[in-house]
Amino acid sequence: MPDGSSPRGRSRGRLVVVSNRVPKGDVPAGGLIYALDEALRGTGGSWIGADEPGGDTSGGLRDLGPDPTGAYQRFAFPLSHAEQEGYYLGYSNSVLWPLFHHRPDLVAVSEGDFDHYVAVNRRVARALRDRLEPDDMIWIHDYHFLMLAHELRQMGVENRIGLFLHIPFPGPTDAMALPQVAMLPAWLAAHDLLGLQTERDVIAALELLRHDPHTELLNNGMLSRQGRTFSVRRFPIGIDAEGFARTAEAGVLPRLTLPTRDSPLLLGVDRLDYSKGLVKRFDAFGTYLAEHRDPDVKPTYLQIAPVSRGDVVAYQDIREDLERTAGSINGAHSTLDWTPIRYVRSHVDRDRLAALYRRADVALVTPLADGMNLVAKEYVAAQDPDDPGVLILSHFAGAAEQMTEALLVNPYDEAGFAAAIDRALRMPAAERRARHAALREGVFRDDVGHWAETFLDRLAEAPASLPLRMRAG
């Protein structure tokens, strides 16, 4: 992990991380929060995230105290209930999220939501500016803060600023559904470094910027907009593979009711979200059962999908669709000792989840759009290399760009998807081992520490930004 200096020996200064979530107590093992905590422990600095809604928005940041090791400080910015509605559930999750996941049809623009988005970004920018030291590097995460850097530049902040977008980048046609699309190039160009998950996201961002009359692509691959240079690059996020593999090996498998102890288990683990393609996945499993199943085999597909963003209408619809689809498939195929689809809505602890991954013969990771998808990488890390399971991965997941040895499927092609399930359940051990070995190597090499380190190295190398004052003249 970073140790505070870049490979070229240049000092990085402190790190200031801004993300929607900031850990308020102990830092949970694994995942993004864990990686950011590790990076901050190396550099020192601070981490700023949203407070529970309902706080006093006239005040500044709430001091959450230092992290448990005392290496960095944590702060929460206040949100009113109206901002929770307009900034978080509204503009972030009912406009930007569907749009960036190629679902402009689900974009729900409500009057006033963008004003809340601006107000929150501006308030966070002001609070940040007041605390910055000249050498601090700012690392912003995700779509909740697309205009934060632009606000900071307007306030004269010259520090290095990077944004990592965890979700896909929209193509130019989808982007046109954003009422504020004309502002997007200026927001992006306010960063020194824009990090995206995949090559196709980089291409989409460059395409959007190519249509902006003020942005110029330079010979060295960087971009220039109104006197400021910046880069757009790919930094595919990883997981704490070592840690996850250890947890999977040691984890206690929850008691499962399967027809027999050795019955095949297929597993899906997702937040309940329309981008995850759960209805298409249920349908493909239904087709597999109807057309391919060996009558002596009774496979169980366990889908763990806790409800998220339950206050957004589009999320209530998908829940109903899913329950109807599971009910009808189970109705057609269940026997006294076998329920083919088991759908669990609760959150599952990390160690139990890891043990389930290890037991599962097949993982179904088949989103219709996904920035990366960490479940695909967790599943690979959790396997026993001598007897591994098979990963079925949608080519719409960002992970598909790296994990080419998975069984790649098009989730819209129900027949092809069902055939892939059949192939996975019959795959000979030698082929399973060969595919898994190749996948495992990538997951362990390009882990989350490598991701944070490469992003921060690139950001530290960014040429010093041109002060706004100088450009104005």
Q: Which residues bind ligand ADQ (CB under 6 A)?
A: 31-32, 166-167, 237, 269-271, 304, 306, 347-348, 353, 370-375, 378
Q: Which H or E element spans position 100?
A: helix 97-100
- CA end-to-end span of the chain: 41
Dihedral sign, CA of 247, 248, 249, 250?
positive
Return left, alpha or beta for 314; rule: phi > 0 is left, psi -120 to 50 is alpha, else beta. Answer: alpha
User: How far is it, in rounded angstroms, from Cα 265 to Cα 379?
Assistant: 13
Number of helical (H) and strand (E) elements in the chain, helices listed first = 17, 16
State which residue, 215 or 300, has the beta carbon closest to ligand ADQ.
300
Among residues 240, 370, 446, 447, the one annotated as catalytic is: 370
State which residue, 67 or 270, has the beta carbon closest to ligand ADQ.
270
* CB 464, min distance to ligand ADQ, A: 29
349 is an active site residue: no
**Which pair of tokens denotes residue 10?**
């240049």
Q: Please say whether the beta carbons of 86 and 115 come within 8 A.
A: yes
294 is an active site residue: no
* CB 305, min distance to ligand ADQ, A: 7
State which residue, 206 or 348, has the beta carbon closest to ligand ADQ.
348
* CB 218, min distance to ligand ADQ, A: 28
User: How far is it, in rounded angstroms, from Cα 7 to Cα 232?
Assistant: 20
User: How far is it, in rounded angstroms, from Cα 449 to Cα 379?
Assistant: 18
State which residue, 299 or 398, has the beta carbon closest to ligand ADQ.
398
Dihedral sign, CA of 342, 349, 89, 167?
negative
State which residue, 166 or 440, has the beta carbon closest to ligand ADQ.
166
Name the one residue in this structure whose structure tokens are 């989103």.
Answer: 367
* CB 375, min distance to ligand ADQ, A: 5
Name the one residue in this structure whose structure tokens are 């995700």.
Answer: 142
Q: Please say whether the beta carbons of 267 and 299 come within 8 A.
A: no
State which residue, 85 or 201, has the beta carbon closest to ligand ADQ.
201
Q: Please say whether the beta carbons of 462 and 192 come within 8 A.
A: yes
Among residues 141, 144, 166, 191, the one annotated as catalytic is: 166
Beta strands in 341-466 (DSSP E): 341-344, 362-365, 390-394, 407-409
State which residue, 220 or 346, has the beta carbon closest to ligand ADQ.
346
Rg (C-alpha) for the chain, rounded Å, is 23
* CB 32, min distance to ligand ADQ, A: 5
User: How far is it, in rounded angstroms, from Cα 331 to Cα 42?
Assistant: 54
**Which pair of tokens denotes residue 132?**
């910055």
* CB 457, min distance to ligand ADQ, A: 19
Strands 215-217 and 223-225: antiparallel
* CB 408, min distance to ligand ADQ, A: 17
Active site residues: 166, 370
